[in-house]
Amino acid sequence: MVKKKKFSLYTAIMVVVANMIGAGVFTSIGFQVLDVQSGSAILLLWIIGGVIAFFGAYSYAILGTFYKKNGGEYLFLKSAYSEQLGFLSGWISFLLGFAAPIAAACFIFSDYFSDIIHSEHKASFIGIPMVTIYAAIILFFVTLMHSRSHKVSSVFQNVSSTIKIVILIILIIIGFFSKHKVDVDFSFGEKFFHDIWQKAFAASLFFVGYAYSGWNAAAYIGGEVVNPKRNVPLALIIGTGTVSILYVLLNYVFLINIPMDQMADQTDVGIIFVEKVLNNTWGRVFGGVISFILISSISSMVLAGPRVTNAIAKDFPKLNWFSFENKNGIPVRALWIQSFIAFVFVATSTFESLIAMIGFVLNLFTMLTVIGSIRVGLRIKNVSGLINKIVFPLFPIIFLLFQTWILIFGLIRYQNESLIGLGITLIGIPVYRWVKRS
Task: Specify whether the CB–CB gap between 106 and 347 falls below 8 A.
Answer: no
Residue 378 pLDDT greater than 90, yes or no: no
Q: How far, in Å, CA of 315 to CA of 321, rounded?
A: 12
d(CA 246, CA 46) in angstroms, rounded, equals 10
Q: What is the pLDDT of residues 8-46, one digit of tens each?
A: 899 989 989 988 887 778 778 888 888 888 999 999 999
Q: For 270-311, what is each residue's pLDDT tens digit?
A: 888 888 888 767 767 777 777 777 888 888 888 888 888 888
Neighbouring residues of 331: CB distance < 8 A, sequence distance ≥ 6? 306, 307, 309, 310, 322, 323, 324, 325
Give the other-Cβ count within 10 Å of 303's Cβ. Answer: 30
pLDDT on residue 390? 75
- Tell whether 2 is covered by a domain: no
Comparing 193 with 149, the larger pLDDT belongs to 193
Q: Does 293 map to a domain? A: yes
Asked if residue 114 lies in contact with residue 121, where contact means CB atoms within 8 angstroms, the answer is yes
Given a cut of 80, whether residue 400 has pLDDT beyond it is yes
Residue 370 banded pLDDT, cuts 50, 70, 90:
very high
CATH number of the domain to which 37 belongs? 1.20.1740.10
Contact 42, 250 (CB under 8 A): no
In a domain, 376, yes or no: yes
Task: Name 314's Cβ contacts closer than 8 Å, sequence gap at least 6.
Answer: 320, 323
HEC letters along the chain = CCCCCCECHHHHHHHHHHHHCCCHHHHHHHHHCCCCCCHHHHHHHHHHHHHHHHHHHHHHHHHHHHCCCCCCHHHHHHHHCCHHHHHHHHHHHHHHHCHHHHHHHHHHHHHHHHHHHCCCCCCEECCEEHHHHHHHHHHHHHHHHHCCCHHHHHHHHHHHHHHHHHHHHHHHHHHHHCCCCCCCCCCCCHHHHHHHCCHHHHHHHHHHHHHCCCCCHHHHHHHHECCHHHHHHHHHHHHHHHHHHHHHHHHHHHHHHCCHHHHCCCCCHHHHHHHHHCCHHHHHHHHHHHHHHHHHHHHHHHHHHHHHHHHHHHHCHHHHHHHCCCCCCCCHHHHHHHHHHHHHHHHHCCHHHHHHHHHHHHHHHHHHHHHHHHHHHHHCCCCCCCCCCCCCCHHHHHHHHHHHHHHHHHHHHCHHHHHHHHHHHHHHHHHHHHHHCC
Which residues partner with 225 through β-bridges? 7
pLDDT of residue 35: 84
Contact 136, 147 (CB under 8 A): no
pLDDT in the model for residue 239: 92
- In degrees, rounded to 5, the angle at the alpha carbon of residue 111 between the alpha carbons of residues 110 and 117 is 80
Answer for the pair 74, 87: CB distance below 8 angstroms, yes or no: yes
Give Cα 432 distance to the centre of its chain: 27
Mean pLDDT of 379-388: 66
Report yes or no on 346 lying in a domain: yes
Band (pLDDT 50/70/90 cuts) for residue 426 is: very high
CA angle, 99 as apex, 209 and 405 as ends, to 5°? Answer: 25
pLDDT at 427: 93
Q: How many CB atoms lie within 10 A of CB 300?
A: 32
Average pLDDT over residues 318-332: 86
> Looking at residue 49, what is its pLDDT?
92
Position 381 confidence tier, pLDDT thresholds 50, 70, 90: low
**For the chain, what is the mean pLDDT?**
84
- Is residue 4 included in any domain, yes or no? no
Range of the domain at 414: 9-433
pLDDT confidence tier of residue 164, bands split at 50, 70 and 90:
confident
Q: Is residue 218 part of a domain?
A: yes
Measured CA to CA, the distance from residue 114 to residue 129 in angstroms comes to: 10
Q: Average the pLDDT over 97-112 and give the result.
A: 82
The pLDDT assigned to 382 comes to 61
Task: Return d(Cα 226, Cα 220) in angstroms, integer.
Answer: 14
Q: How confident is the model at residue 352 (pLDDT cuts 50, 70, 90)?
A: low
pLDDT band (50, 70, 90) for residue 5: low
Higher pLDDT, 437 or 12: 12
Write out pLDDT tens, residues 110-148: 877 776 776 555 666 677 777 788 888 999 999 998 888
- Counting the structural domains of the chain, the total is 1
* Cβ-based neighbours of 348, under 8 Å, separated by 6 or more: none
pLDDT at 125: 67
pLDDT (mean) for 59-69: 82
pLDDT of 1 over the 60 cut: no
Contact 11, 154 (CB under 8 A): yes
- Asked whether residue 2 carries a pLDDT value surpassing 50, the answer given is no
- Residue 438 belongs to a domain: no
> Is the pLDDT assigned to residue 253 strictly greater than 90?
yes
What is the longest distance spanned by two Cα atoms in the chain? 70
Taking a C-beta distance cutoff of 8 angstroms, is the pair 256, 184 a contact? yes
Nearest Cα to 204, choosing from 264, 144, 262?
264
Could you tell me what percent of the chain has a pLDDT over 70?
92
* 1 assigned to some structural domain: no
Confidence class of residue 336 from pLDDT cuts 50, 70 and 90?
A: very high
The structure's pTM equals: 0.86
